[in-house]
Amino acid sequence: MISVPVALGERSYDVLVGRGARHRLLEVLPVGAVRAAVVTQEAVPVHVDAGIEQRTFLMGEGERAKDLETVEGLCRQFSRWGLTRADVVVAVGGGVVTDTAGFAAAVYHRGVAVVHVATTLLAQVDAAVGGKAGVNLPEGKNLVGSFWQPAAVLCDTEVLETLPPEEYRSGLGEMAKYHFLGGEDLEDCNLDERVARCVGIKAAVVAADEREAGRRAILNYGHTLGHALETAGRYDLRHGEAVAIGLLFAARLAERLGRIDDRRVNEHLRVVEGYGLPTALPADTEVERLVELMSRDKKAVGGLTFVLDGPCGVEPAGGVSRADVEAVLKEMST
């Protein structure tokens, strides 16, 4: 078992990575918790034993369930059951579950402890770690949320063996991102080590910038276009696949702006292709619609803002012209 600390002072916690990590749940529950509200989905084939009184609360499937209506429903059920601020919410599932249950925990009674049992590769390497919880609006992804650090995160790599291939591939999109955030050695690691390495990279960034005042924005590398593709709702892409396309878009945009050279763009292409992820936009891409959606991104302040590679590494870059963005999008969709 690999333990990765997330150093945040009194809010610090550990992420446990390895086969059977889900069975360590009782060890990581907050001291004094009497009840555990287990939030999961019908399709999640993972069961946990909190070792205290627990009740399971099901939420809907897919991104459509990651909304304010679901959060309200969960909070009302918590109230009817009698969950208190001294108890704990246990999120068992992928990023949709950890994001939604984490936000419900953050707002119920103004904050109840939460433990994440991440059951997908995407959740293990990214979504369940770092304390960003939130839900979508029709206008965009993750536009309503909060920072609410978990008490612990359990990444059981054994459960990844049951994931459908497309779900596993979605997680690889987030893993590809970490290659460009200091994870050049990921290709030399086994699965447990890869997950722990990604968590370690994210933990270091979060420890330095918990509330995304600056550097933490680099964790959104590839996500500006990725989120726009998802929000558009007309492309058959999972989150990690959309992020993979977003990584290549960001690389090409950075090259167009003179920030990186062709060699670095090809490195992005090699990594994304190596994970078997898509490398081009759908042929029927609506360029203007994607630009509109990207302008609503949370990072956008005073114009189009992206996280781009450059001489100093990956960093936020503002003031990008619409013409440059449209030109790269058109290149990638033909």
- Let me know if 132 is a catalytic residue: yes
CA dist., res. 114 & res. 133, Å (int) = 11
Last residue of a domain, one of 177, 208, 239: 208
- Let me know if 110 is a catalytic residue: yes
Is residue 191 domain-shared with residue 230, that is, in the same domain?
no
The predicted-structure confidence for 14-56, as pLDDT tens digits, reads as follows: 999 999 999 999 999 999 999 999 999 999 999 999 999 999 9
Q: Which is catalytic among the residues 223, 259, 268, 298? A: 223
Is residue 161 domain-shared with residue 246, that is, in the same domain?
no
- Let me know if 227 is a catalytic residue: yes
**89 domain residue, yes or no:** yes
- Let me know if 299 is a catalytic residue: no
Q: Which is catalytic among the residues 132, 194, 252, 259? A: 132
Q: Which helix (H) or strand (E) holds 88?
A: strand 88-93
Is residue 235 domain-shared with residue 180, that is, in the same domain?
no
CA dist., res. 270 & res. 267, Å (int) = 5
- Return the HEC string of 10-63: HHCEEEEEECCHHHHHHHHCCCCCCEEEEEEECCCCCCCCCCCEEEEEEECCCH
Q: Which is catalytic among the residues 227, 238, 252, 268? A: 227
Helix axes 165-178, 239-256, angle to 10 degrees: 30
Q: What is the pLDDT of residue 48?
A: 97
Domain CATH number, residue 92: 3.40.50.1970
Q: What is the pLDDT of residue 299?
A: 60
**216 domain residue, yes or no:** no
The predicted-structure confidence for 181-200, as pLDDT tens digits, reads as follows: 999 999 899 999 999 999 99
Is residue 179 domain-shared with residue 201, that is, in the same domain?
yes
Is residue 229 domain-shared with residue 279, that is, in the same domain?
yes
Q: What is the pLDDT of residue 233?
A: 76
**111 domain residue, yes or no:** yes
Is residue 116 domain-shared with residue 168, that is, in the same domain?
yes
Q: What is the pLDDT of residue 64?
A: 92
Is residue 238 domain-shared with residue 299, that is, in the same domain?
yes
Cβ neighbors of 35 (< 8 A, separation 6 or more) are 52, 53, 54, 55, 81, 82, 83, 84, 87, 88
Q: Give this prediction's pTM.
A: 0.92
Range of the domain at 292: 221-332
Tell me the two tokens of residue 169. 């591939």
Enumerate the β-bridge partners of residue 15. 4, 153
- Let me know if 298 is a catalytic residue: no
Averages of pLDDT over runs of 10 residues in the chain (334 residues) are 97 97 97 96 95 97 94 98 97 97 98 98 96 92 94 98 93 97 93 98 96 92 94 87 97 98 97 95 89 78 84 94 95 84
- Let me know if 23 is a catalytic residue: no
Q: What is the pLDDT of residue 280?
A: 92
CA atoms within 13 A on the CB side of 133: 25
- Let me know if 268 is a catalytic residue: no
Question: Contact 45/30 with Cβ under 8 angstroms?
Answer: no
Is residue 119 domain-shared with residue 249, that is, in the same domain?
no
Cβ neighbors of 53 (< 8 A, separation 6 or more) are 34, 35, 36
Secondary structure of residue 181 in the 3-state scheme: coil
Domain CATH number, residue 305: 1.20.1090.10
Q: What is the pLDDT of residue 36?
A: 98
Q: For the chain, how many structural domains are there in total?
A: 2
Last residue of a domain, one of 184, 208, 232: 208
Q: Which is catalytic among the residues 194, 216, 259, 268? A: 216
